[in-house]
Homo-oligomer: A and B are copies of this chain.
Amino acid sequence: MKYCPECGAPVELRLPQDDNRERHVCTACSTIHYENPKLIIGAIPEWDDGRILLCRRAIEPRHGLWTLPAGFMENGETTAEAAARETLEEANARVSIGELYSIHNLPYINQVHLFYRSRLLDLDFSPGIESLEVVLIGETQIPWEAIAFRTVKFTLQRYFSDRKKGSFHFFSSDLAHPAQIR
């Protein structure tokens, strides 16, 4: 941020009174502009036979790799509504959203990812504009080496493990920058 979104004057990094972090503060109107993490919300759409709906990405990042339907939560919606909307947009698929299944912190990119268990309601799906293809896929066919995001991979791995055991348990993970993993 270089200019104040409210008045257009330059902003500067400054420590506001009673604050402990530098913020972008307008040099003219003194408005303090906070920047906060964003929520990415996804669904784990399961069909009646146990197969999971995956999308192959038509956009960057990770063009060509596979993901669960997911994306940035929008203003004015709930987390569950975001999961259903993303599934509709990316896979033209209708789901019934169930319980929250996983939360992942990615502090190095200021993101929090949530994934919801969900039931795919019919087989009338097709690629949305952000997807190259959309498939229903069984656990043994999952392209583990071509999954676009770690949070999707971890969520799917745990999902299949929990499903085998017969009960799902909400889990969380904190992810470091990939370059920091040893």
Contact surface of A with B, Cβ cutoff 8 Å: 1-11, 18, 20-21, 33-39, 72-81, 89, 100, 103, 105, 107-108, 110, 112, 129-130, 170, 172, 174
A151, B107: Cα distance in complex, Å: 25
Residues of B contacting A11 in the complex (Cβ-Cβ under 8 angstroms):
5
Provide the main secondary structure of the chain A interface.
loop
B-side contacts of A20, CB under 8 Å: 89
CA distance in complex: A87, B8 (Å): 36
Q: How far is the CA of A9 from the CA of B4 in the complex (A)?
A: 10
B38 adjacent to A36 (CB under 8 Å):
yes
Which residues of the partner chain B approach A6 to less than 8 Å between Cβ atoms? 1-3
